[in-house]
Structure 1
Amino acid sequence: MKAYDEKHIKNVVLIGPAKSGKTTLAETMLYEAGLLTRRGTVEERNTISDYHEVEHERGSSVYATSLHTEWRDYKINIIDTPGLDDFIGEVITSITVCDTAVILLNAQNGVEVGTELLWDYVDRYNKPTILAVNQLDHDKANYTQTIDEAKAFFGPAVTIMQYPLNAGTGFNCIIDLLKMVMYKFPETGGKPQKLPIPDSEKERADQLHNELVEKAAENDEALMEQYFEKGSLDEDELREGLKIGMMKHQVFPVFCLSAKKDIGTGRMMGFIDNVAPSAVDTAGELTEEGQEVPYDPAGPTRLFIFKTLVEPRLGRLSFFKVISGEVSVGMDLQNEKTATAERISQLFIVDGRNRNPIDRLKAGDIGCTVKLKNTATGHTLNGKGATGNIRPIQFPPAKTRTAIVARNKQDDEKLSEVLNEIHLEDPTLNVEYNQEVKQVILEGQGDLHLTVTKWKLENLYKIPVEYQKVRIPYRETIQRPALSSYRHKKQSGGAGQFGEVFIKVEPYYEGMPPLKDYPVRETETVDLPWGGKLVFNNCIVGGVIDARFLPSIMKGIMEKMAQGPLTGSYVRDVRVSVYDGKMHPVDSNDISFKIAGMMAFREAFLQAEPQLLEPVHDIEVLVPAGLMGDAMTELQTHRSMILNIDSEGNNQVIRARTPLAELDVLLPALRNLSQGKAKVRSQFAEYSPVPSELQKRISEEFSKTELAEVH
């Protein structure tokens, strides 16, 4: 494979909503460059990009796929990304390492909701951007409307480089405003004829060309002087001005395409070669300490791992971008995050499932290696003379969750290992075992994200699994004082068991007055691990219970508090006073008083108006102003208390307090009603009383479950 210098390496990411044609465009780019002799299609499941079995089954991209072309003495690395928000992690990693983002706009649909969601990340990373209006051959294609919507959404940076002469079923001609020619394509697409612009289009083309010249000139003072002096700019000056504008995020060039018919693809690739910035043109990357690392081919070797792919039969693939220096086979590098050495045993340029061996890669290039033992996505590998870590990728918080269990108990350990592997390749999928609710919780970006994860587990790893509702970590407490006693007596030959305990339970709150009913000899206050307090009073007089048994009584009470009488949830904020009891000189022991304390507490608790508490979250819902009413209705349907409403640009921010039990249903509902535009932030606020009817239902369900487990 030919070696390219750093100025002739371009990295582009194809992004856009589902069905905008990203995979078809990637296939056509490889075909145009001669790397393919026949183009595959998504429908025939034979594209280079969408090669995973799950993508064939779904008919759309699930993974971001790395590809490359060699076009007119330039190397273009291409990353084809999924179009659905559920797989946003794949998109974010790709945007992070690209030098230019190519956003596809479906000429039938214009600027879609998916476009808006993906643009947030391109804009956040300030990536130079090309807008590609695709599917102009469709009978419902509307170029003018698409451009109008693009200007309304992206702003004045939208810069028309081309426009179609005959968008629709017979689309085959493009007016190019940089070269001021008309490209006419054969029926099969590919290489066009260069023809003069028709007389009927000259006035429009001249006007748009002048606008293009002004747009290019305004990005650089020297070019502006040339423009004022000559009244125009030549083609090279135009390219320079457009490149500067792209890097300043003030120029978003617009190209016309039918990727399916191979119309316009080569022209856009030529623009990527000649105008779009390479990595060495950019400011470089920042370390965690804020130090800038330039893309310097003469600098020390530094690699940034942006993606990890675990293939069940091939092992771990690590995709990286060379930040500085060069990397070669056999090189030893240091991972400062894990303080371990890693050897680069092999290097590849990847085209879908195909791995092309290569000896070395230079700054700004993208490649892949295998068998890195202690390196994950977001890690930096440094050579001699390089220190520090490139800032890791920031992934969005989870939007939905489920509990997961293996259908076969013997698969539990294997499931745990595989879920950790899947998290390694997809950091937006979080896995944790929740000790309190005793469930493995899977958190993802949406229902489809979790569905695809289930498919992987069952089809790739052969682990049948079941998704279950996530249990809510309730708390239990009491609302009034109550008295209770319990005698534990057991005789089965030889030494028996005997212990009798009298207790009083009360709701505990900060600053409550001391106990007056009985003399308090000793008080112990316990800050409970799950929140709240237990205050334990020893009120025993006359030695009716030996002091050595008091810790056992408290231990029994604590055990019952760890599995409350009402729903099996943790108990909090209770004061317990042991004021009387009996013991036996032979049969009394620690276990007897532990059981007596536990059962006395249980009976007193149930007499003291038990109250179930639920976790409540403070949430902020950002929605377009036109959807505020629908969003508020949805919030109130799910027991939310609206706190206040503010404006933020064209959006409204609704602040509310919502029970955690409702969030798992509320969040998908808000996404659906807003077509994915709603953004929700949530944070635990407090534990709050559950309404009485709901408490009764939850308690009855728990009792039925307990009864079923006994039998």
Structure 2
Amino acid sequence: MRVYQTNEIKNIALLGSAGSGKTTLAEAMLYESGVIKRRGTIEAKNTVCDYFPVEQEYGYSVFSTVFNVEWNNKKLNIIDCPGSDDFVGGAITALNVTDQALVLINGQYGPEVGTQNLFRYTDKLKKPVIFLVNQLDSEKCDFESIIAQMKDIYGTKCVQIQYPLNTGPEFNSLIDVLLMKKYSWTPEGGAPIIEDIPEEEMERAMALHKELVEAAAENDETLMEKFFEEETLTEDEMREGIRKGLITRSIFPVFCVCAGKSMGVRRLMEFLGNVVPFVSDMPKVHNTRGQEVPADSDAPTSLYFFKTGVEPHIGEVSYFKVMSGSVKPGDDLTNADRGSKERMANIFVCAGANRQSVEQLQAGDIGCTVKLKDVKTGNTLNSKDCENRFDFIKYPNSKYSRAIKAVNEADTEKLMAALTKMRQEDPTWVVEQSKELRQTIVHGQGEFHLRTLKWRLENNEKLQVEYQEPRIPYRETITKLARADYRHKKQSGGAGQFGEVHLIIEPYAEGMPDPVSYNINGQEFKMNIKNKEVVDLDWGGKLVFINSVVGGAIDQRFMPAILKGVMERMEQGPLTGSYARDVRVVVYDGKMHPVDSNELSFMLAARNAFSEAFKNAGPKILEPIYDLEVFVPSDFMGDVMSDLQGRRALIMGMDSEAGYQKLQAKIPLKELSNYSISLSSITGGRASFTTKFASYELVPNDIQQELIKVHEAEIDGKE
């Protein structure tokens, strides 16, 4: 392959809901451009893009796959992304390193919720969008209805470039209103027969052509003036107007393809080569210091590693984008994130598992390499005197979590190593070793996402694992004032142990004034504050510790030990053993012994006094509450709301957004445990949701009593 310059390179993300035909389209593009000699199929498990065993097992794309085609002296780098919302990380990564989105619409169902979700990401990242209506040969395809839905959702920015003359099994021709030609195919697809538009279609074609001309002219003042004068534009002028409209997202061209029969694919690739923006046309990327980094081949070299694949017999394959400069085999670069030196032994361009060695890649290009020593996903490699770092990919919060453990405990270390390696391949798998919950938790985007992880561990790594329900990180707090004292006294022949602590605890709220006095059971306790320590707890909330001891009853040197004793109990609340939070502790009196008092004595006395006071201070359990947004077709709204109400959710509002309903609620984390499975079941997989931690709130009394019983049973079981 020859070396392509920055102004000859186009980077494209191939997006669409599961089942929309992305992998089949990718196969057709590779075939039409001559990269492969025979088209594979998902059923035959021999496609270029779905080459991992887990993808062939499930019949779904799990990983994004990079491939490239050469067309009309242009290089098109294309990333085929998984369609399932569970694997959205691949789509987000691809959109961040490409400059154009191709969004497939399933000709059987029209724009689905998954399509809407992907479109929102393109909007957030300001990426141009071209829509492709695929599967026109399906009996269920209603093209006019799909166009009407798209205009409802995306507005008049949706502009048809093509329309089919018929749909269903007999589909074999379309009208192109940019070129004003009829395209038709033999049953084998491939090269089209190009003819003049039939007379009976001319009126409709002219009307759509006029709409396209107007939409193209709106993006350039010169073109607009010419359009007003002549009411038309040349083909090249229309292309220029469309290109500018793509960059500003003021036009979303709509194409027709039948990827399974390779119909319309060559025409699409012509458009991609002629019209889609080059790397140099798009807004500049910024490094972590906020500096613009233009795609300039003459600048110092910076490579951003956006994806890691692990392949049998090869190991790690590291995919990168040349952010600036150029790279060739033998270049010595420095890892800006890890400080290590790396030599680029070989560089490749790829089409799935097939790699072709190249002599150089220029700014804006995408390639891969193998056998790097210390490069992880998200790292930047720089040439000498270059200090770029990039951190522009932001992934969504996890939606589904499970505790994971090796069936054979001896495999625990091996399991952690495998999980770490797999997270390099998919950063939306998040692994957490929770000291609080005493579990290893894996977080993902859905049940299918984690099922895939388990399949790979068991089949690729030969590790038998099991999932368990993750424990909930409850919190404990108090709701009223309480006082307690405790004397720790122990004699053992020699020096003994003695420490006595008197303390008052109360709920703490931000900004509350320091105490002056307390009245407890008719007895007044005046406070004389000597010092105050505010502890920001690692698990949220605060502990305020006040020393109000007068008359030297407890020496100041024992105060750190008293605080330590309190903290020990804050780390293991008396109700469920969960962390406690938002408590103010005032130590106001005590006693010590001139010989037997020491730090251990006061730590134990404080721990026991705090426990007793906590139990008498109206202790309550708090549970994590999450903000939930559900995106759902209106047909399923009633069932989804009913399900949420059964999960103790509080509906906060409803909205209509781009053809679907958006429902907002607050819901306890415990009730989210299997929500992704339930929502998929209710809506046939046509809904999605996002979550974000909101706050801790009191659990209802009946649930609190149940949690306490469970904890007590666990303690009895251990004893």
Residue of structure 2 equivalent to 1:393: 393
Q: Do the aligned partners of 1:624 and 1:650 also contact (CA within 8 Å) in 2?
A: no
Secondary structure of the residue aligned to 2:117 is: helix
State the alpha-carbon separation in 2 of the partners of residues 417 and 537 from structure 1: 47
How far did 1:427 drift? 2.3
Change (3 A) 1:137 1:568: same
How far did 1:134 drift? 0.8
Residue of structure 2 equivalent to 1:703: 712
State the alpha-carbon separation in 1 of the partners of residues 231 and 109 from structure 2: 38
How far did 1:321 drift? 1.9
State the alpha-carbon separation in 2 of the partners of residues 594 and 281 from structure 1: 67
How far did 1:27 drift? 0.6
Change (3 A) 1:479 1:312: farther
Residue of structure 1 equivalent to 2:703: 694
How far did 1:649 drift? 8.8
Residues 32-65 of structure 1, C-alpha deviations (whole Å, 9 max, x = no match): 1222222111111110100111111111001000
Aligned AA (2:399): K
How far did 1:575 drift? 3.9
Aligned AA (2:692): S
How far did 1:135 drift? 0.7
Residue of structure 1 equivalent to 2:360: 360
Change (3 A) 1:459 1:327: same
How far did 1:87 drift? 1.1
Range 159-168 or range 191-200, more displaced:
191-200
Change (3 A) 1:154 1:551: closer
State the alpha-carbon separation in 1 of the partners of residues 7 and 499 from structure 2: 86
Aligned AA (1:168): G
User: RCO (CA 8 Å, sep 6+): is it higher in 1 or 2?
Assistant: 2
How far did 1:167 drift? 1.2
Q: Do the aligned partners of 1:488 and 1:500 also contact (CA within 8 Å) in 2?
A: yes
Aligned AA (2:415): L
Are 1:507 and 2:514 matched, yes or no?
A: no
Residue of structure 2 equivalent to 1:237: 237
Residue of structure 1 equivalent to 2:627: 619
Q: Normalised by the size of structure 1, how large is the TM-score?
A: 0.87
State the alpha-carbon separation in 1 of the partners of residues 657 and 167 from structure 2: 38
Residues 104-160 of structure 1, C-alpha deviations (whole Å, 9 max, x = no match): 111111111111110111222222222111111111111111111122222222222
State the alpha-carbon separation in 1 of the partners of residues 282 and 56 from structure 2: 37
Change (3 A) 1:287 1:478: closer
Residues 155-195 of structure 1, C-alpha deviations (whole Å, 9 max, x = no match): 22222222111211111112222332222211111122223
Range 495-504 or range 28-37, more displaced:
495-504
User: Pairwise mapping of residues 190-339 of structure 1 onto structure 2 (< 5 A)?
Assistant: 190-311=190-311, 313-339=313-339
Residue of structure 1 equivalent to 2:574: 565
Change (3 A) 1:108 1:654: closer
Residue of structure 1 equivalent to 2:13: 13
Residue of structure 2 equivalent to 1:470: 471
State the alpha-carbon separation in 1 of the partners of residues 193 and 660 from structure 2: 48
State the alpha-carbon separation in 2 of the partners of residues 54 and 434 from structure 1: 29
Secondary structure of the residue aligned to 2:207 is: helix
Range 58-67 or range 574-583, more displaced:
574-583
Are 1:532 and 2:553 matched, yes or no?
A: no
Residues 507-559 of structure 1, C-alpha deviations (whole Å, 9 max, x = no match): 3555444366679899665534534336576879998x999888766655543
How far did 1:590 drift? 6.3
Secondary structure of the residue aligned to 1:410 is: helix
Q: Do the aligned partners of 2:623 and 2:698 also contact (CA within 8 Å) in 1?
A: no
User: Pairwise mapping of residues 133-144 of structure 1 onto structure 2 (< 5 A)?
Assistant: 133-144=133-144
Residues 308-346 of structure 1, C-alpha deviations (whole Å, 9 max, x = no match): 224465333221222333211111233334444332221
User: Pairwise mapping of residues 445-464 of structure 1 onto structure 2 (< 5 A)?
Assistant: 445-464=445-464
Aligned AA (2:703): L
Residue of structure 2 equivalent to 1:406: 406
State the alpha-carbon separation in 1 of the partners of residues 385 and 550 from structure 2: 72
Q: Do the aligned partners of 2:432 and 2:442 also contact (CA within 8 Å) in 1?
A: yes
How far did 1:77 drift? 1.8
State the alpha-carbon separation in 2 of the partners of residues 426 and 441 from structure 1: 16
Range 619-628 or range 566-575, more displaced:
619-628
Residue of structure 1 equivalent to 2:187: 187
Secondary structure of the residue aligned to 2:342 is: strand
Secondary structure of the residue aligned to 1:346 is: coil
How far did 1:691 drift? 2.9
User: Pairwise mapping of residues 655-694 of structure 1 onto structure 2 (< 5 A)?
Assistant: 658-664=667-673, 680=690, 682-685=692-695, 687-694=696-703
State the alpha-carbon separation in 1 of the partners of residues 577 and 148 from structure 2: 59
User: Pairwise mapping of residues 49-64 of structure 1 onto structure 2 (< 5 A)?
Assistant: 49-64=49-64
Residues 607-631 of structure 1, C-alpha deviations (whole Å, 9 max, x = no match): x154123145473647679688777
Residue of structure 2 equivalent to 1:99: 99
Aligned AA (1:244): K
State the alpha-carbon separation in 1 of the partners of residues 159 and 421 from structure 2: 44
Change (3 A) 1:644 1:464: same
Aligned AA (2:367): G
Secondary structure of the residue aligned to 1:260 is: helix
Change (3 A) 1:208 1:646: closer
Secondary structure of the residue aligned to 1:299 is: coil
State the alpha-carbon separation in 2 of the partners of residues 73 and 576 from structure 1: 78
Q: Normalised by the size of structure 2, how large is the TM-score?
A: 0.86
Aligned AA (2:42): V
Secondary structure of the residue aligned to 2:261 is: coil
Aligned residues: CA RMSD = 3.7
Residues 568-598 of structure 1, C-alpha deviations (whole Å, 9 max, x = no match): 2234525465867797988x87656655654
Secondary structure of the residue aligned to 2:20 is: coil
How far did 1:500 drift? 7.9
Residues 432-489 of structure 1, C-alpha deviations (whole Å, 9 max, x = no match): 3333333333222222222222223333233333333233231243645355656766
State the alpha-carbon separation in 2 of the partners of residues 322 and 170 from structure 1: 45
Q: Do the aligned partners of 1:615 and 1:660 also contact (CA within 8 Å) in 2?
A: yes
Range 211-220 or range 26-35, more displaced:
211-220
User: Pairwise mapping of residues 558-597 of structure 1 onto structure 2 (< 5 A)?
Assistant: 558-572=567-581, 573=583, 575=585, 595=604
Q: Do the aligned partners of 1:622 and 1:651 also contact (CA within 8 Å) in 2?
A: no
State the alpha-carbon separation in 2 of the partners of residues 140 and 542 from structure 1: 87
The number of residues matched between the two structures is 704
Q: Tell me, which stretches of 5 or more residues in structure 2 are unaligned? A: none
State the alpha-carbon separation in 2 of the partners of residues 334 and 188 from structure 1: 51
State the alpha-carbon separation in 1 of the partners of residues 370 and 57 from structure 2: 27
Secondary structure of the residue aligned to 2:436 is: coil
State the alpha-carbon separation in 2 of the partners of residues 553 and 98 from structure 1: 58
State the alpha-carbon separation in 1 of the partners of residues 392 and 104 from structure 2: 27
Q: Do the aligned partners of 1:312 and 1:460 also contact (CA within 8 Å) in 2?
A: no
State the alpha-carbon separation in 1 of the partners of residues 483 and 16 from structure 2: 64
State the alpha-carbon separation in 1 of the partners of residues 515 and 161 from structure 2: 75
Q: Do the aligned partners of 1:505 and 1:575 also contact (CA within 8 Å) in 2?
A: yes
State the alpha-carbon separation in 1 of the partners of residues 296 and 548 from structure 2: 73
State the alpha-carbon separation in 1 of the partners of residues 199 and 147 from structure 2: 23
Change (3 A) 1:302 1:495: closer
Residue of structure 2 equivalent to 1:166: 166
